A = this chain, B = another copy of it.
Amino acid sequence: MTAPSAAPRYEQLADDIEAAVRRGVFAAGERIPSVRRASVQHGVSIKTVVHAYALLESRGVIESRPQSGFFVKARPVARNGSPARAEGAARGTAQGSSQGEKGRRAGAEKVPMEPAPNAAPAPVDVSRLVLSTLRSIVAQDAVPLGSPYPDPALFPWRRINQYANAIARRHAGWNLIDDLPPGNPELIRQIARRYAENGADVDPEEIVITVGATEAINLSLQAVAKPGDTVVVESPTYYAMLHAIERLGMRAIEVSTHPDTGIDLDALERVLARKKVAACMVMPNFQNPLGFRMPEANLRRLVALAEAHDLPVIENDVYQELYFGPTRPSSLKQFDTRGLVLHCASFSKSLSASYRIGWALPGRYRAQVEKLKFLNTLTTPSVPQVALADYLRHDGYDRHLRRLRRFYREQARLMRAMIERFFPAGTRTTDPQGGYVLWVELPPRVDSMRLYRAALAQGITIGPGYMFSMRNDFHHYIRLNYSYPWTAQTEAALKTLGELVARMA
């Protein structure tokens, strides 16, 4: 049942080059031969070299630099704080309750089980792996199943551009000072109005505009915790949460998270009882990668827990608008009466990714977040802020969203059906309630990094499970993006993936 033992040619080439680097033939920072030259030197095709270099990049041995080629990665002494460390105990504690069937939705036969805890450390640098996955999509024009971003073609770009153009024509110059933190007042008003229309009572004066939700999450975490502090995340978690924790020199505790109901609240309660936790970071709606919608009772219980422990909760709610069901989901923020929830969101998943407009509703930490925003990037670019404000005021955001939700729901159905058709027995998928990603459990022998490399060699990207945890628990899981229109190429890619999985299983 193991994969054929002979490694493909590109993998052998990668091993050879890596060995040369280890021997010092190529020093850190030095350029390695161009693809063309290496192809001649080693007597292999250009394509083989390209794949070998991509593999070396994902292993962290080399890095590509724009317009100049590939270089041996420098390995300087780490000076920016100690990396985030995951604690095994919390997961162990969580097993008892989360392994049970009580939280599982009836009829969902293909929900991934949680794997047994595994003490081995994650073998990859998560943020490097994420970045190199993204790069490989661009560099090789690969099928973007591994992308975390929605297909930009689905956004009302033409309309948004028209607003941006009108603004640019209206203003001779734009004074930086006008849109200092908290941000452009009209955009803030439109965001608050949107929440009000959705039945959430949001105080406009609480909103701080940021460069995407990424900045909002980073600033929120820094506002409530300090280096060395312990932060609870879901497991699996959206990797930007781990990045934020790692970058700020904090420690992560991963708490078991159910694919239907979200973070295990019993396990969380036990962690809080025995440990000083500075913050908890969750994604209650259509979590990336699991796609669940946390039941309202759980939202309430999580807020109650936070209040009992005076625990700030960072809520990443970027997918809230992308629900498939008949009713709009609630967010933690709506149940928060004490200002402990720092709610982060953006337009990047629903309206425009490259405009990079996000925001935070930081509750009682508003003053700190606003100040940190000023210190981090001074201010968010003006024209994107005003263009989105104009779009929201004058255009058909709701109509656009209705179309988008219908499309994603249908795509999710299609991709699940194709996986059922092409993948071997032992494969299971989530049944996402919103968003545009699917979490796939593969047979336990399949290593998602090996699958990632093999897929890349075929021009296909996937999101390996290693991205979503600091531990080794999800080595046989992958995340797939279904936001791109269904084509023969997508179908062929899934078929190829299924064959690779079957070979490795």
Q: Check B158–A172 contact: CB distance below 8 A.
A: yes
Interface residue range, chain A: 35 or more
Interface residues of A in 314-368 (CB under 8 A from B): 348, 353-356, 364-368
Q: Check B76–A376 contact: CB distance below 8 A.
A: no
The proximity string for A residues 81-92 relative to B, scoring 1 for CB distances below 8 Å and 0 otherwise, is 100000000000
Interface residues of A in 58-116 (CB under 8 A from B): 63, 65-68, 71, 73-74, 76, 79-81
Task: Answer whether residue A269 sits at the interface, using C-beta atoms and an 8 A cutoff.
Answer: no
Nearest CB in chain B to that of A135: its residue: B180
CA distance A247 to B375 in the complex (A): 8
Least distance between A285 CB and chain B CB atoms (Å): 20
Q: Check B76–A212 contact: CB distance below 8 A.
A: no
Task: Answer whether residue A380 sits at the interface, using C-beta atoms and an 8 A cutoff.
Answer: yes
- Taking a contact as CB atoms closer than 8 A, the residue among B76, B226, B244, B355 that contacts A80 in the complex is B226
Task: Answer whether residue A255 sits at the interface, using C-beta atoms and an 8 A cutoff.
Answer: no
Q: Which of A13-21, A34-42, A149-157, A403-411 lies at the binding interface?
A: A149-157
Task: Answer whether residue A472 sits at the interface, using C-beta atoms and an 8 A cutoff.
Answer: no
CA distance A378 to B130 in the complex (A): 11
CA distance A189 to B164 in the complex (A): 26
Q: Check A164–B383 contact: CB distance below 8 A.
A: yes
Give how many copies assemble into the complex.
Answer: 2
Q: Which of A214-222, A260-268, A290-298, A437-445 lies at the binding interface?
A: A214-222
Q: Check A138–B177 contact: CB distance below 8 A.
A: yes
Task: Answer whether residue A451 sits at the interface, using C-beta atoms and an 8 A cutoff.
Answer: no
CA distance A135 to B243 in the complex (A): 33
Task: Answer whether residue A377 sits at the interface, using C-beta atoms and an 8 A cutoff.
Answer: yes
Contact partners of A243 in chain B: CB under 8 A: 374-375
CA distance A137 to B176 in the complex (A): 12
Task: Answer whether residue A227 sits at the interface, using C-beta atoms and an 8 A cutoff.
Answer: yes
CA distance A179 to B178 in the complex (A): 27
Task: Answer whether residue A225 sits at the interface, using C-beta atoms and an 8 A cutoff.
Answer: yes
Contact partners of A467 in chain B: CB under 8 A: none
Task: Answer whether residue A48 sits at the interface, using C-beta atoms and an 8 A cutoff.
Answer: no
Task: Answer whether residue A127 sits at the interface, using C-beta atoms and an 8 A cutoff.
Answer: yes
Q: Check A131–B374 contact: CB distance below 8 A.
A: yes
Q: Check B66–A372 contact: CB distance below 8 A.
A: no
Contact partners of A76 in chain B: CB under 8 A: 364-365, 368
Q: Check A381–B355 contact: CB distance below 8 A.
A: yes
Contact partners of A68 in chain B: CB under 8 A: 203-205
The proximity string for A residues 132-174 relative to B, scoring 1 for CB distances below 8 Å and 0 otherwise, is 0011011000001001010011010110010011001101111
- Interchain Cβ contacts under 8 Å between A and B, 27 examples: A29-B364, A63-B367, A65-B182, A66-B204, A66-B205, A67-B205, A73-B367, A74-B364, A76-B364, A79-B223, A79-B278, A80-B372, A127-B375, A128-B371, A131-B180, A165-B168, A174-B353, A174-B354, A212-B377, A214-B378, A218-B376, A227-B249, A247-B375, A354-B381, A356-B381, A376-B376, A383-B383
Additional pairs, 18, CB under 8 Å, beyond known A165-B165, A174-B353, A211-B381: A65-B182, A76-B364, A79-B225, A80-B226, A127-B375, A152-B173, A152-B174, A157-B173, A164-B165, A165-B169, A215-B377, A247-B376, A356-B379, A356-B380, A356-B381, A377-B377, A381-B381, A383-B384
Residues in A lying within 8 Å of B, measured CB to CB: 29, 63, 65-68, 71, 73-74, 76, 79-81, 127-128, 130-131, 134-135, 137-138, 144, 147, 149, 152-153, 155, 157-158, 161, 164-165, 168-169, 171-182, 185, 188-189, 203-205, 211-212, 214-215, 218, 222-227, 240, 243-244, 246-247, 249, 278, 348, 353-356, 364-368, 371-372, 374-384
Lowest 10 CB-CB distances: which A-B pairs, in order? Answer: A65-B205, A152-B173, A161-B168, A174-B354, A176-B353, A211-B377, A354-B382, A68-B205, A157-B173, A214-B378
